[in-house]
């Protein structure tokens, strides 16, 4: 009897082990994700859960993210006097807990994608990367001011030249939007991702970004809900609240979940930490309305219309914000923001009024006319900025003569293109000139400390990108 029982038990075990049953496969985290390199850009398609989208991002762009993190760890001690450990610590102390879970999962996924290639980065590295602007150029200056009042002045970045127009100002009466990104070449030359995001919830998004960012960062976004978003920073801004939600989280949420201009205003203004204070230019192709949201820490001002052209070149407009939250001098015509304002007003609001389209938008973002001198030039005062060729540098951003910074890329789209989830993008100076590192360092050895990572920045042709 005992032998019979043993035989039956063996038979049952064998049946369980070898009987036919559905085959289970490991979860494929890459899924439908892909990357393609074109004209200086990396087109990146991500799709799925937050964790899987993050993993796809980290896995497919591991080389670019690894390099960007190395650049940050090397460069931030020069530009902000704080090392990478400081930024990781800030991320742990007050940023991580203010990040929505879905974005925590996406950040964790990016780290896991990097780790799959043997890299040792973690969530704090990716958080600090995403928050590097608001930490280095808002939080750190605030700490400086606490030690010595005024020492943090002129640290808020002067990034970008942008416009949005609709109604009588455009060729077909619908929205046209354009933007170029100004930043230090050592970083901006690598700001070369066109991200096509299909999250489980919310809008399908097409945007430019830097490797490892879950948001656009310089902010040029189109969505499947017809929302168009861009911005330019507010020069001389002062203010940062560590207890509130990071700008990069609010910016991503606004892109992913906004169905209207009101949604963008609400999301960006709610629990606002003051980081990366901007003039946001927003359009809704469903209503043909555009708006300008000037968002400080304490001051919020909105202008909106269905028949207007709005520009941004790092100047604030609201008198209350200027007085209480900035050191900006509205009367100094020689500053980069004010000089570009003159030129943008002429091009967008006068010369191209009633003619604005994608082609004119490209021309505007690559413009090299200095409104102060009345001639073409390469300096801080033109829309396609070249501070690396300016003997004055850019004092309002604490940048010395010939500092290697300026316009690093451009984007343009229209309501018609956005309806097909398409945008034009240009890597390198939108005006078409190259920055060459070797001759620059030969002429300006004071910047040799950047030579380890500052490379040539070639100007590629304008390229049309679309979602999958």
Supply the mean pLDDT for the chain. 94
DSSP 462: P
Take residue 406 and report the two structure tokens written for it.
Answer: 């300026």
Per-residue model confidence as pLDDT tens digits over 205-221: 999 999 999 999 999 99
pLDDT at position 10:
37
pLDDT band for position 26 (50/70/90)? low
CA 65 to chain centre: 15
Residue 349 lies in a domain: yes
Nearest to 256 by CA among 214, 301, 217, 289: 214
Task: Confirm if 227 and 213 have CB atoms less than 8 A apart.
Answer: no
Residue % of the chain over a pLDDT of 70: 94
pLDDT over 50 (residue 20): no
CA 389/CA 271 separation, integer angstroms = 40
The CATH number of the domain holding residue 433 is 3.60.60.20
Element (H, E) at 250: helix 247-257
**Average pLDDT of span 173-196:** 98
Beta pairing partners, 223: 205
- pLDDT value for 27: 79
Q: How far is CA 39 from CA 185, 209, 367, 421, 428, in A?
A: 18, 16, 21, 19, 10
Integer Cα distance of 317 and 54 in angstroms? 37
Residue 61 above 90 pLDDT?
A: yes
Judge contact between 318 and 299, C-beta under 8 A. yes
Asked if the structure places residue 382 within a domain, the reply is yes
Count Cβ atoms within 10 A of the Cβ of residue 445 and give its class: 0-12 exposed, 13-18 middle, 19 or more buried. Answer: exposed
| DSSP codes of every residue in 340-351 | HHHHHHHIIIII
Sorting pLDDT into bands at 50, 70 and 90, what band is 158?
A: confident
User: How much is the average pLDDT of 440-444?
Assistant: 98
Query: 195-230: b or e for each residue (b if 16 or more CB lie within 10 Å)?
Result: bbbbbeebbbbbbbbbbbbbbbbbbbbbbebbbbbb
Span 374-433, pLDDT tens digits: 999 999 999 999 999 999 999 999 999 999 999 999 999 999 999 999 999 999 999 999
Whether 249 has a pLDDT exceeding 80, the answer reads yes
Structure tokens, 366? 């690559």
Q: How far apart are CA 331 and CA 350, in angstroms?
A: 22
Lowest mean pLDDT among 9-18, 24-33, 35-44, 339-348: 9-18
Total structural domains in the chain?
A: 1
Q: What are phi and psi of 317, to 5 degrees?
A: -120, -35
Cβ neighbors of 322 (< 8 A, separation 6 or more) are: 316, 328, 330
On the question of pLDDT at 338 being above 80, the answer is yes
The b/e string for 86-106 (b: 16+ C-beta within 10 A; e otherwise) is bbbebbeebbeeebeebbbbb
Q: What is the pLDDT of residue 9?
A: 41
Percentage of the chain beyond pLDDT 90 is 93
Torsion angle (degrees, nearest 10) of CA 334, 339, 341, 345: 130
Please give the residue range of the domain that contains residue 413: 34-48+155-466
Which pTM does this prediction carry? 0.93
Residue that wins the pLDDT comparison between 9 and 173 = 173
Three-state SS at 184: strand
SS3 content of the chain, % helix, strand, coil (to 5): 40, 25, 40
Q: What is the mean pLDDT of residues 280-287?
A: 98
In a domain, 63, yes or no: no
Instruction: For residue 71, tell me if it sits in a domain.
Output: no
Hey, what are 58's tokens? 């980290």
- Which H or E run contains 111? helix 101-115
9, part of any domain: no
For residue 244, being part of any structural domain is answered with yes
111: in domain: no
Whether the CA torsion 375, 376, 378, 382 is positive or negative: it is positive
Quick check: is 54 in a domain? no
């Amino acid at each position: 009897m005992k032998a019979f029982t043993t035989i039956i038990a063996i038979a049952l075990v064998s049946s369980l082990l070898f009987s036919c049953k559905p085959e289970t496969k490991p979860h494929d985290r890459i899924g439908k994700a892909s990357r393609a390199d074109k004209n200086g850009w990396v087109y990146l398609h991500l799709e799925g859960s937050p964790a899987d989208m993050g993993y796809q991002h980290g896995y497919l762009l591991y080389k670019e993210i690894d390099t960007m993190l190395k650049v940050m760890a090397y460069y931030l001690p020069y530009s902000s006097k704080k090392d990478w450990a400081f930024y990781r610590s800030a991320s742990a102390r007050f940023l991580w807990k203010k990040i929505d879970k879905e974005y925590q999962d996406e950040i964790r996924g990016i780290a896991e994608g990097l780790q799959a290639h043997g890299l040792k980065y973690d969530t704090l590295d990716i958080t600090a990367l995403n928050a590097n602007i608001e930490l280095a150029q808002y939080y750190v200056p605030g700490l400086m001011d606490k030690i010595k009042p005024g020492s943090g002045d002129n640290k808020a970045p002067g990034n970008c030249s942008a416009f949005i127009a609709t109604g009588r100002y455009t060729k077909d009466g619908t929205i046209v939007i354009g933007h170029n990104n100004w930043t230090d070449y050592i970083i901006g030359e690598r700001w070369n991702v066109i991200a096509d995001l299909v999250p489980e919830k919310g809008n399908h998004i097409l945007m430019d970004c830097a490797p490892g960012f879950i948001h656009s960062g310089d902010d040029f976004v189109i969505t499947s809900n017809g929302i168009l978003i861009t911005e330019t920073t507010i020069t001389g801004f002062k203010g940062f609240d560590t207890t509130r939600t990071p700008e990069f989280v609010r910016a991503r949420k606004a892109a992913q979940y906004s169905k209207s201009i009101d949604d963008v205003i609400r999301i960006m203004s709610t629990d606002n930490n003051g980081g990366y204070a901007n003039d946001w230019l927003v359009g809704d192709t469903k209503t043909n309305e555009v708006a300008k949201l000037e968002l400080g820490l304490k001051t919020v001002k909105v202008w909106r219309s269905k028949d207007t052209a709005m520009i941004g070149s790092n100047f604030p407009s609201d008198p209350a914000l200027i007085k209480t939250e900035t050191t900006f001098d509205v009367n100094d015509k020689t500053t980069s923001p004010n000089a570009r304002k003159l030129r943008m007003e002429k091009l967008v609001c006068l010369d191209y009024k009633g003619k604005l389209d994608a082609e004119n938008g490209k021309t505007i973002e690559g413009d090299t006319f200095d409104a102060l001198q009345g001639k073409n030039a390469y300096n801080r005062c033109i829309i396609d900025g070249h501070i690396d060729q300016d003997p004055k540098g850019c004092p309002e951003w604490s940048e010395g003569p010939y500092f290697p910074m300026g316009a690093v890329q451009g984007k343009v789209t229209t309501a018609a293109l956005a309806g097909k989830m398409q945008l034009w993008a240009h890597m390198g100076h939108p005006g078409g000139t190259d920055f060459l590192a070797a001759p620059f360092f030969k002429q300006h050895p004071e910047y040799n400390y950047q030579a380890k990572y500052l490379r040539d920045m070639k100007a590629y042709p304008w390229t049309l990108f679309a979602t999958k």
